[in-house]
Structure 1
Amino acid sequence: MTTTLITGANKGLGFETARRLIAEGHTVYIGSRDDRRGREAAERLGARAIQLDITDDASVDAAARVIEADGGLDVLVNNAGAQHEMADGKVVIGAEELTADVLRRTFETNVFGTVRVLHAFLPLLRRSPAPVVVNVSSGLASLTRVATPGTPAYAYRGVAYAASKTAVNMITVQYAKALPTMRINAVEPGFTKTDLNDHAGVQTVEEGAEIIVRTALLGPDGPTCGYVDAEGTLPW
């Protein structure tokens, strides 16, 4: 039996990923900052709920102890994220409006939170015969895309969110190099209609979750140290 933890899974991409992985036979923990919402989501799916605020050391450590006591972990999906630059589906904080506080709050969740969860759960993943880590990134993390005129990424004017996901990509590469027995990859789900962007996205959560699920199902011989979307490898 494969046991999977998905952070930020009480709604959106995390919820759909959980639904799909349960259908594949995984035992799934719904990580949720709000315990009540997490329990409600877990009940709907037939998953296990676990309170998990990735910005809080005590919360993350407590979740790791619970999952360890329950038998361990095989797959970690770092899905929880924050976007503080948008309102009503539009970027309202660009380079000229950006403050250190906005950048700090964004990195606290998207970067420091990802590392916090990785640090806490790596000892459990090391015991798995086929450990997998999926870091949910973004097409905006690609320096190549953002710097290419005429592309949707080039037109994006926000700074903090894109920078945080570029950092997630670097984290992915360095962890994958350090832990070659694990499959560690960054994925771009696409511009999906979720609360993160006030549902301004152009695709459904079913479409967005496709690459997350596919990467979570990788076997021991699957690729690692990658940055991919549903169509294939993306430029860094």
Structure 2
Amino acid sequence: MSEHTKVALVTGANRGIGFQTARLLGLEGMTVLVGTRDAQRGAEAERALREEGVDARVLAIDITDATSVKAAAARVEEEFGRLDALVNNAGIALGWGGMGRSDTDQFREVLDVNVVSVVRVTDAFLPLLRRSEAARVVNVSSELGSIASLTHPEDPFKDVEMDAAYPASKAALNMVTALYAKALAGTPAKVNAANPGYCATDMNGHSGPRSAEQGARVSLHLATLPEDGPSGVLWGHLALAQDPDTYGVLDW
């Protein structure tokens, strides 16, 4: 690996959108750290990526465990000395029973994984991101976390029965994104939230109309923003647009 090669970490990279994000970043020439807590699946993902010519390396990390996260950051510091892109992709979706039937234990678990753990990982890697000439942080969110979208008269999700856990976690993640962007304003770093759109993944039983690769292209875009790119926005697929391939900034 050349000292000029960018290093990217994608959490939850052993499958779905995370795997495709790692693949696309690797095809752009980055060294990709396949963040996963499952060693076997991580090894399989690494092998598949290497077969496509990607410089992929498994990084053991359980984002819900502080000791694991610190160990992962220490390993990256030892091997690379910096991190150029962090894609906080790992997340869960529980609690779709509908409002009034929320499982509060599941609610707590979703918030821990989708919000608290993102802060845990970002804080642990922030010193390494600051050493990059132009760090990019991408928090994989959802249009379901956009209050503006869910309260829009033409809400594209009005017929989807859900409780508050997943949307609330993504709304909180959007705020976390805005706060990191504010904290890093004036530096070369950029922090944004990605809306991949409704993609076919294990999380939803592969019911989404968009492919995992299509969803990953949103994170790819934000992880490779030029110097004049935005920071502190929710960007990605626009479900309300007439053209299904329309992308842009969504209202929080």
> Shared fold (TM-score greater than 0.5)?
yes
CA RMSD of aligned residues (A): 1.1
1:139–1:153 Cα contact (<8 Å) kept = no
Is 1:44 the equivalent of 2:56?
no
Q: Deviations over 1:87-131 (max 9, x none)?
A: xxxx3x221110221110101100011001011000100111111
CA distance in 1, matches of 2:161, 2:126: 35
Is 1:232 the equivalent of 2:248?
yes
CA distance in 1, matches of 2:93, 2:196: 15
- Give the corresponding residue for 1:167: 172
1:21 corresponds to which of 6, 20, 25? 25
1:137–1:188 Cα contact (<8 Å) kept = yes
Q: Which amino acid aligns with 2:149?
A: R
- Give the corresponding residue for 1:54: 63
1:43-192 equivalence runs, <5 A: 43-46=47-50, 47-71=56-80, 72-85=82-95, 91=96, 93-158=97-162, 159-180=164-185, 181=187, 182-192=189-199
CA distance in 2, matches of 1:221, 1:25: 21
CA distance in 1, matches of 2:66, 2:118: 12
Give aligned pairs, total.
Answer: 230
Q: Which amino acid aligns with 2:125?
A: F
Q: Which runs of 5+ in 1 are unaligned?
A: 86-90
CA distance in 1, matches of 2:159, 2:66: 36
How much has 1:154 moved relative to structure 2? 3.0
1:74–1:128 Cα contact (<8 Å) kept = yes
How much has 1:152 moved relative to structure 2? 2.0
CA distance in 2, matches of 1:218, 1:233: 14
